Amino acid sequence: MKRDLTERLESAIAKTRPVGRAADAVAGWLTNAFQAKALRPLKLFLNGSWFGHPLHPVLTDIPIGAWSLTIVFDLIGLVTRAQLGVAAGLTTGLGLAGALATAATGLMDWMDTGPPEKAVGAVHAILNGTATILFAVSFGLRWQRGWPTSLGPFAVALAGYGLLLAGAYLGGAMVFHRGVMINRNAYRSGPEEFVSAVSPSELEEGKPRRVDVAGEPVLLVRSGERIFAVGAVCSHYGAPLEEGKLLGDTVQCPWHASRFALEDGAVREGPACAALPCYETRIAGNRLQVRLRP
């Protein structure tokens, strides 16, 4: 029942044309801006490729945790008259700092999503952005009044917290229902023993070819005397890597320009954060054989 409700909500948001058009326009502007050579390194840093994990979900814990403490401190102070106004002010300020960093990383991930996810992500951002504004107002009231525990700042913060929870719900729906920023190869493996794939003569120099090996999509690339084999699906958003470009000893994703090493599938450039499955190759008779690298 809960899953049906979530899917209906996502579907309703995705079908709301003004939201979709606005989301596409903003995402297009961001994509054009961050494709520039000067800004792309910033995008890749905020995506988290260097970290081996998207940065956005890591940072979301800061505003959620800090603002949860704000609500707790305010409630305790209002009920018991304990002097917790300064503590509530500090957690409110910490949450604001964390929210700015969280928003920046979220935008970098969001611009790479498809149309349905863009619309849901836009509402997620609106809810969280409004919550941040309300907590900023609450922070300003506390500062102006000398950090007391009082009903006014608490009421504003509580309204922001409600929006924050709604935004977090949509954020979870994007990941667990829509599959945003998950590793597309998380459950891929491959044969533990060598399995016949193709004849080596079928592989052209420098031309990627996708083959099925024991039910797994594998990308084969001939480079001189060597034949490389890695997963054929980009870990970022599932793009077909056989349609990508070979750049030196890497293959570049055709959708978002992530680059993976042919030698071991490692991420050489984001926005992808997870490596590709890697396979060993050998020639037996007139057949190329492939197995998962142990």
How confident is the model over 225-268, as pLDDT tens digits?
Answer: 899 999 999 999 999 999 999 999 999 999 999 999 999 999 99
Residues 157 and 27 in one domain: yes
How far are the Cα atoms of 7, 8, 9, 97, 206 from residue 2, in angstroms, in the given order? Answer: 9, 10, 11, 33, 49
Q: With respect to residue 184, please indicate whether it lies within any of the assigned structural domains.
A: no
Query: Residue 2 — very low, low, confident or very high, per pLDDT cuts 50/70/90?
Result: low
Mean pLDDT calculated for residue range 218-226: 92
Per-residue pLDDT at 257: 93
Residues 202 and 154 in one domain: no
How far are the Cα atoms of 71, 90, 111, 133, 168 from residue 149, in angstroms, in the given order? Answer: 11, 13, 40, 20, 27
pLDDT tens, position by position, 96-155:
999 999 999 999 999 999 888 899 999 999 999 999 999 999 999 999 999 988 999 999
Per-residue pLDDT at 252: 97
- Provide CB contacts within 8 A for 118, sequence distance 6+: 20, 23, 24, 27, 110
Q: Which domain holds residue 283?
A: 195-292
Mean pLDDT calculated for residue range 57-82: 96
Number of domain units in the chain: 2
Mean pLDDT calculated for residue range 177-183: 89
Per-residue pLDDT at 1: 47
Residues 36 and 148 in one domain: yes
Q: With respect to residue 288, please indicate whether it lies within any of the assigned structural domains.
A: yes
Q: With respect to residue 185, please indicate whether it lies within any of the assigned structural domains.
A: no
Q: With respect to residue 187, please indicate whether it lies within any of the assigned structural domains.
A: no
- pTM above threshold 0.85: yes
Per-residue pLDDT at 15: 76
Q: What percent of the chain has pLDDT over 70?
A: 99
CB atoms within 10 A of CB 110: 24
How far is the C-alpha of 74 from the C-alpha of 79, rounded, in Å?
8
**256 in Cβ contact with 235 (< 8 Å):** no
Per-residue pLDDT at 3: 59
Residues 147 and 199 in one domain: no
Q: With respect to residue 186, please indicate whether it lies within any of the assigned structural domains.
A: no
CATH of residue 255 = 2.102.10.10
Q: Which of 129, 132, 134 is nearest to 157 (CA)?
A: 134
| pLDDT over threshold 90, residue 177 | no
Phi and psi for 291 in degrees, rounded to 5? Answer: -145, 155
Q: With respect to residue 250, please indicate whether it lies within any of the assigned structural domains.
A: yes
Q: With respect to residue 244, please indicate whether it lies within any of the assigned structural domains.
A: yes
